[in-house]
Chain A
Amino acid sequence: MEILIFSIVALIAVICSVQVIISRNPVNSALFLIATMVSLAILFILLNAPFLATIQIIVYAGAIMVLFLFVIMLLNLRRDEFGPERRRAQRFFAILFSFLLLIGITTVLTVGTFNSNQVESGWSKTIPAGVEPLAQLLFTKYLFPFELASVLLLVAIVGAVVMAKRRL
C-alpha cells in the first residue's frame, strides 16, 4: 500500500516538476510548482513526518508561491516576452544529455542499495514524529548547522538589501 501511494505521488511530483520547466506560460509554471510542493508534502507524510509536511504546505505551497505569483503579476509579461526560440543544436544536446542523465540516475537508483536500517533520523517507525523529535535533533545533534543557517539567512538579507536598495 505504502509503495503504491509513494509511486503515484512520486510520479505526480516528477511530471509536475517537468511541467514547471517546459510550460511557456509563467503562471502555469507557478501552478505546477505548487502541485510539486504538495506532492512532496505527501511524501513527507509517508516518511512519518507530519510536521515537515505541514511546514512544506504552509511555507512553500503557501507563502513562497503567493510571492511568485505576485511577482509574475507585477512583471506584466507580454506574449513575446516568453522567450525566443532556442537554438537547434542546443536543443538537440540538451535532450541528448538529459536523456543520458536520466539513464544514469535510473541505473544508480535501481542498482544501488539504500541503507534504510541505519538511517539515524529522529522519526523512526516507532516514535510518532511531530515537532518534538525534529526540535530535539535541531537543538542537540544539529545545533551547529542550525546556528549556521541563521548566519546564512542574515547574509542573504544583507545581500538583498545591497543589491536592491536605491541609495546605500
Chain B
Amino acid sequence: MDWIIPAVNLKLILPEIVVCLFAILILVTDPFLSKERKIWSAHLSWIAVVIAFIANIRLWNLQEATFTNMFLVDNYATFFKFIFLAGSFLIILISMSYLKREEILHGEYFSLILFSTLGMMLLASGFDLVVIFLGLEIMSVSLYVLAGFKRSDLASNEASLKYFLMGAFATGFLLYGIVMIYGSVGSTNLGQIINHITSNDAGSNLLIWAGAGLLLVGFGFKIASVPFHMWVPDVYQGAPTPITAFISAGPKAAGFAALLRVFLFSFTTIKMDWTMIVWIMAALTMSVGNIVALAQSDIKRMLAYSSIAHAGYVLVALVAGGETGVSSALFYLLAYTFMNIGAFTVVIALGRKGQDNTKLEDYSGLGSRSPILAILMTIFLFSLAGFPPTAGFMAKFYVFGSAVKSGFTGLVIIGVLNSLISVYYYLRIVVLMFMQAPVTRTDNERIKVAFCAILVLIISTWAVLQMGIFPQSLLSLAQASVSSIF
C-alpha cells in the first residue's frame, strides 16, 4: 500500500501554531507561579496574541491551501483572524483587573481564551466541513468553561450549564447536516461540494437541502439568531463580564466567518433558494432582539438582546450576498467588535468585588461621578445605535446599502425601523447618565479604572471614531478580503 504524505506548509498555519503553543505553555508554567505572580500568565497570553497578529500580517495577500486542501489561507480568512486576535487582545487586557478583583485569577483562564481564539481561526480558515466542525468545538468547549469560570457564583454555573447543553444540542444539528451533505456529495471539502452542486443540478436533491438547513441551524445558534437565541440572555448575564464581551465579539464573528464561507461559496449556485429562509431569519432576529431589549432592566441582558439584533443586521448582508454584501459584513463585524468590547469595558469598570452594578439605575448620575467614563459610554452606545460619526453608522450604512443594491428593499426598511427602536433603549442609558441624579448608595466612591482597561477604552474609542469618520482605509481592506471567495 503506497502512502502519500500530504504537502504540509507550516508557514501558513503559523498564527495558529503560535496561539496553540502559548496556550499549552501557560498551562505548563502556571502551576509553578506563586499566587502573586499569576498575572504573568496573562502577560504571556497577550504576547501570544501580538505575535500571532504579526505572523498573520505576513499572510496578507496570500492565497494558498495546505493539508490536502483542508486549510485555506486567503484574505477573507486573514481579515477575520485580525478581528479575532484584536478582540482577544482587548479581552485579555480587561480580564486582568477583573479577575484580580473577583479573586479568580488563574492561568487556565488565559489558556482557554487562547484555545478559543484558535478555534475561531480554524473556523475562518477551514476549507473542509470536518475542520470547521473541529474548530467550532474547540472554540465552544473553551467558552462553556469560561462562562462558568466564577465557580462560586450560581449565576455563572447556570450560564455554563445552559450554554453547554444548548451548544451540544446545536452541535448535533451541525454534525447531522455535515453527514447529509457528505452522503450526497461524497466529500466534505467545500471545493468539491460546490463542484458537485454546480455540475449535478443538485438543487433537486433533497439531501443537500436538509444538510444546508441543519448547517444553518448549527451556525444560527453560534451567531445567536432568532429562533436559536434562547440561551443568549442567561448566558450573557451569568458569565463573567469580560467573557460576555468575548462571546459577543469573537465567537459571533467566527460563526459568521464559517456561515458566510459555506453558504456564499459552496451553496452559491442555489442562493436563490435559501435566501428566503435567511431573509425571514434576519427580519425576526432584528425585530425580536430590539423589541425585547426595550424591556430589560439589566445592562448585560440589554446588551445581550442588542447583540442578537446586531446578528440580524449582519444576516441582512448575507441575504444581499455578492462582494459588497460580504465586505459590508466584514466591516460590520470589525466595528461591532470594538464598540461592543468598549461598552462592556465601561460596564466592568463600574463593578465592585462580588457586586457587578449592572442594573440600569446604577448608571444614573454617572455623568457627574465620572464624566470621562460617561462620555466614552455615550460614544459606544451611539455607535451601537448607529449614529454618525461613529463606526456603527458607517457599518449599518454599508450593510443596508448593499442590500438595497441587491434589491432587498423590504428587508432594509425593517432594518431601519429596528434601528429606530434601538435608539430608545441605547439613549435611555445616556439620559440616565447625564440627566438623572445618582440614586444608589455607593455613589460617593471614586471609580478607579485599571491601566489596562484605560488602554482598551482608548483603543476602542479610537477604532470606533476612525471607522466612523475615515472608513475608507478599513473598508477597502474588507473589500480586498472578499474577492478570493468568489
CA distance A136 to B208 in the complex (A): 29
- Of A105, A111, A139, A142, most B-chain CB atoms within 10 Å: A142
By a CB distance below 8 angstroms, the chain A residues around B182 are 119
Q: Closest Cβ of chain B: how far from A94's Cβ, in Å? A: 14
CA distance A152 to B187 in the complex (A): 23
Please list the residues of chain B having a beta carbon within 8 angstroms of any beta carbon in chain A. Answer: 1, 3-6, 8, 20, 24, 27, 67-68, 70-71, 106, 108, 111-112, 115, 118, 122, 128, 130-131, 134-135, 137-138, 141-142, 144-145, 148-149, 151, 160, 180, 182-187, 196, 205-210
Q: How many residues of A contact B (CB 8 A)?
A: 36
For the A-B complex with A159-B112, A159-B145 known, give 7 more contacts whose Cβ atoms are closer than 8 Å: A114-B184, A141-B68, A143-B6, A152-B138, A159-B144, A163-B151, A168-B108
By a CB distance below 8 angstroms, the chain A residues around B207 are 108-109, 112-114
By a CB distance below 8 angstroms, the chain A residues around B115 are 151, 154-155, 158
CA distance A161 to B145 in the complex (A): 10
State which residues 114-132 of A face B: CB under 8 Å.
114-115, 118-120, 132
Residue of A with least CB distance to B104: A168
A140/B108 in contact, CB under 8 A = no
By a CB distance below 8 angstroms, the chain B residues around A115 are 183-186, 196
CA distance A105 to B141 in the complex (A): 29
By a CB distance below 8 angstroms, the chain A residues around B141 are 152, 155-156, 159
Partner of B6, one of A140, A148, A159: A140
Q: Closest Cβ of chain A: how far from B331's Cβ, in Å? A: 30
B142/A148 in contact, CB under 8 A = no
Q: Closest Cβ of chain A: how far from B189's Cβ, in Å? A: 10
Task: Using known A-B contacts A156-B141, A158-B27, A158-B108, determine if residue A144 contacts B131 with beta carbons closer than 8 Å.
Answer: yes
Q: Closest Cβ of chain A: how far from B138's Cβ, in Å? A: 5
By a CB distance below 8 angstroms, the chain B residues around A136 are 1, 3
B138/A114 in contact, CB under 8 A = no
Q: Closest Cβ of chain A: how far from B266's Cβ, in Å? A: 15
By a CB distance below 8 angstroms, the chain A residues around B160 are 163
Partner of A144, one of B67, B118, B208: B67
CA distance A133 to B208 in the complex (A): 28
Residue of B with least CB distance to A145: B130
Q: Closest Cβ of chain B: how far from A77's Cβ, in Å? A: 19
Partner of B209, one of A108, A109, A120, A143: A108
Q: Closest Cβ of chain B: how far from A34's Cβ, in Å? A: 20
A163/B186 in contact, CB under 8 A = no
CA distance A108 to B205 in the complex (A): 9
Report if A107 contacts B (CB, 8 A). yes
By a CB distance below 8 angstroms, the chain B residues around A155 are 112, 115, 138, 141-142
A105/B210 in contact, CB under 8 A = yes
B205/A113 in contact, CB under 8 A = yes
Task: Using known A-B contacts A111-B206, A118-B186, determine if residue A140 contacts B145 with beta carbons closer than 8 Å.
Answer: no
CA distance A151 to B187 in the complex (A): 24
Residue of B with least CB distance to A161: B108
Q: Closest Cβ of chain B: how far from A109's Cβ, in Å? A: 8
- In terms of DSSP, what is the predominant structure of the interface of chain A? helix
Report if A59 contacts B (CB, 8 A). no
Report if A72 contacts B (CB, 8 A). no
Residue of A with least CB distance to B8: A143
Report if A162 contacts B (CB, 8 A). yes
Could you write out 11 A-B pairs with CB less than 8 Å apart?
Answer: A107-B206, A112-B209, A115-B183, A119-B182, A119-B186, A136-B3, A140-B6, A144-B67, A145-B70, A148-B131, A155-B115
Q: Closest Cβ of chain B: how far from A20's Cβ, in Å? A: 14
B205/A112 in contact, CB under 8 A = yes
Partner of A120, one of B112, B142, B187, B210: B187
Q: Closest Cβ of chain A: how far from B483's Cβ, in Å? A: 25
Q: Closest Cβ of chain A: how far from B70's Cβ, in Å? A: 5
**5 A-B pairs with least C-beta separation:** A112-B207, A118-B186, A159-B145, A144-B67, A112-B206
CA distance A115 to B149 in the complex (A): 46
CA distance A161 to B206 in the complex (A): 43
- Of A115, A133, A136, most B-chain CB atoms within 10 Å: A115
CA distance A111 to B207 in the complex (A): 8
B186/A120 in contact, CB under 8 A = yes
By a CB distance below 8 angstroms, the chain A residues around B180 are 108
Report if A149 contacts B (CB, 8 A). yes
A108/B68 in contact, CB under 8 A = no
CA distance A155 to B112 in the complex (A): 7
Q: Closest Cβ of chain B: how far from A125's Cβ, in Å? A: 15
CA distance A129 to B106 in the complex (A): 47
CA distance A87 to B121 in the complex (A): 42
By a CB distance below 8 angstroms, the chain B residues around A140 are 3-6, 68
Q: Closest Cβ of chain A: how far from B253's Cβ, in Å? A: 20
A152/B186 in contact, CB under 8 A = no
CA distance A155 to B149 in the complex (A): 14
Partner of A148, one of B8, B134, B151: B134
CA distance A46 to B146 in the complex (A): 42
By a CB distance below 8 angstroms, the chain A residues around B1 are 132-133, 136
By a CB distance below 8 angstroms, the chain B residues around A168 are 106, 108
CA distance A141 to B67 in the complex (A): 7
Q: Closest Cβ of chain B: how far from A52's Cβ, in Å? A: 15
Q: Closest Cβ of chain A: how far from B238's Cβ, in Å? A: 15
By a CB distance below 8 angstroms, the chain A residues around B118 are 151
By a CB distance below 8 angstroms, the chain B residues around A145 are 70, 128, 130-131, 134
By a CB distance below 8 angstroms, the chain B residues around A143 are 6, 8, 67-68
B111/A158 in contact, CB under 8 A = yes
Q: Closest Cβ of chain B: how far from A166's Cβ, in Å? A: 10
A112/B210 in contact, CB under 8 A = yes
By a CB distance below 8 angstroms, the chain B residues around A119 are 182, 186
Residue of A with least CB distance to B183: A114
B20/A151 in contact, CB under 8 A = yes
